[in-house]
Amino acid sequence: MGCNVKKFLGLSLLIFCRLTWAAPCSAGQSKDGSALVHIEQTWASALEKKDATTLGCLLAEEFQDVDPQGNISDRATTLAKAADHRPMHNELSELTPRVYGDFGYIRGLATATDTQGKITARVRFMDVYIYRDGRWQAVAGQESMLPTP
């Protein structure tokens, strides 16, 4: 019995330490359009760095995305894709945020370039956010492919 108590205490300590060392998602974000612009830029940067942890802080548990081909992805699938993202740079432009209390959305254009600087895709997108736990969390997204020049 004493051995089980030691194992339990050791396991509890390990779990507690891991929780306290884990970097929490930032809170206290402003409830305005500039915060949504910043989040979109963070999202693009996280994809370039294959940083699923940062992206995980941006996506709500119930997040769903519709890609340019019409496929629906949930949060887990979106995070898995981020970890396997091909090397490219996403330049965001035409960012237009709108905030209505605890709800907001942003539309924009993402221009993807490969490592040689060649444009590989142009995607018009819209992401929908809810303000929860002191931060904006994406609950839905949709992308539409545009012709490349």
Q: What is the mean pLDDT of each run of 10 residues along the chain (149 residues)?
A: 43 36 75 97 95 96 96 96 85 98 98 94 98 97 93
Q: Please, what sign has the CA dihedral across residues 127, 61, 135, 92? A: negative
Residue 73 lies in a domain: yes
3-state SS, residue 23: coil
Residue 22 lies in a domain: no
Residue 124 lies in a domain: yes
Residue 7 lies in a domain: no
| Residues ≥6 apart with Cβ < 8 Å to 11 | none
Per residue in 47-78, pLDDT tens?
Answer: 999 999 999 999 999 999 999 999 999 999 99
- State which residues form the domain around 87: 29-146
The structural domain count of the chain equals 1
Q: Is the pTM of this model over 0.85?
A: no
Residue 136 lies in a domain: yes
Residue 10 lies in a domain: no
**CATH number for 123:** 3.10.450.50
Residue 93 lies in a domain: yes
Rg of the chain's alpha carbons, rounded to an integer?
A: 19
How deeply is 106 buried, as exposed, middle or buried, from its count of CB atoms within 10 A (0-12, 13-18, 19+)?
buried
Give the E-state strand segments of 57-102 in sequence order.
Answer: 59-66, 72-74, 89-100
